[in-house]
Amino acid sequence: DQGNSRLFLPKLGWLRYRNSRDVLGTVKNVTVSRFCGQWYVSIQTEREVERPIPKGSAIGIDMGVVRFAALSDGTFFAPLNSFKRHEDRLRKAQQAMSRKTKFSNHWKKAKSRIQKIHARIGNARRDYLHKTSTAISQNHAMVCIEDLQVRNLSKSAAGSTEKPGRNVRAKSGLNQSILDQGWFEFRRQLDYKLAWKGGWLVPVPPRNTSRTCPCCSHVSADNRQTQARFECVECGFEENADVVGAINVLRAGHARFACEVSGAVMPPAAGTRRSDSGAARCRP
């Protein structure tokens, strides 16, 4: 009963719920769940939709920590850093729980507060990722993105007793910042939202995307002297380093997409190896 925001459940009867959006199509199943003391209902429906026609241009995205997403057209999205914003509050709540007797009523209340803080962190992050991925998918038909392996990027630098790591504290902070961004979830959302609109998500290898000059294609670690600035030692081209990375990601994405669609032999593009960019014929 959408008009009155009511839902009929067996053994419970009619219950009111917050109707956040219209339910379209034929209802197939309804799932009721409880999380952090609150009840949620998910309604799965089935309906026919017209095949969408992709609209907009192609764009490359360089993922980062200082800038969550830098686009090849020069625009960027600042990071939310949801965990960092709630870190102090979470630490105090955890310290308060540690002083309580385990499984006592006060301990259970303190644990509930911690769970709510974690839920708030996750909700804020998901909300930001949904808004960002929606904005990009609505304005671009093809999105090229780095195929980042988050698990490898966030590995511990502690090492072992025989081979202790270096700059362990700094690497630990970087790992926390990487995990706080939600890169994998962002890519997952982009993938299905672009598919809804008839677009494509093209992942490309991230190798040398931040070291390759988009003008002369010179590859060197010296091209990027600082985190933010790119200056080619060969031709003198200057630009923001994240934007350069996004431009190279777009070029690599064009090469891979053309290769997959036509099966033609493509020259290597910035950020790709010969086998990736189509120097050899692409295989399915």
Per DSSP, 231 falls in state E
Q: Which of 147, 191, 222, 242 is catalytic?
A: 242
62 carries an active-site annotation: yes
Q: What is the DSSP string of 15-56?
A: EE----S---SEEEEEEEEEETTEEEEEEEEE---PPP---S
Per DSSP, 210 falls in state T
Q: Which of 22, 46, 48, 62 is catalytic?
A: 62
Q: Which helix (H) or strand (E) holds 255?
A: helix 241-262
In this structure, what are the phi and psi dihedrals at residue 108, rounded to the nearest 5 degrees? Answer: -65, -40
CA torsion 97-101-103-109 (nearest 10°) is: -40
β-sheet bridge partners, residue 212: 219
222 carries an active-site annotation: no
Using CB atoms within 10 Å of the CB of residue 93, give its burial: 0 to 12 exposed, 13 to 18 middle, 19+ buried. buried
185 carries an active-site annotation: no
| Identity of residue 271 | G
Question: Which pair of tokens denotes residue 86?
Answer: 């709630």
What positions carry a catalytic annotation?
62, 146, 242
